[in-house]
Amino acid sequence: MSHDLSLAQNHAWNLARTLMVPVILFKVDDEYGVYLNSQAVSLAFR
């Protein structure tokens, strides 16, 4: 996880564009993370 919002947003955007799936950027305490929908990812690679 990252402590920098702009860095987390940039990485989430790049991940979403690369995999062409929606991602969810979330914050827990003071850290940011990205959640991928595993069904969307598995469908993208079929």
Task: Read off the pLDDT of residues 3-29 as tens digits, 9 standing for 90 and up.
Answer: 788 998 998 899 889 988 888 888 988
pLDDT for res 45? 54
Q: Could you give the number of structural domains in the chain? A: 1
List Cβ neighbours of 19 (8 Å cut-off, separation of 6 or more). Answer: 36, 41, 44
Q: What is the pTM of this model?
A: 0.68
- Give the long-range contacts of residues 10-14, CB within 8 A, separation 24 or more: none
Residue-range definition of the domain harbouring residue 21: 5-44
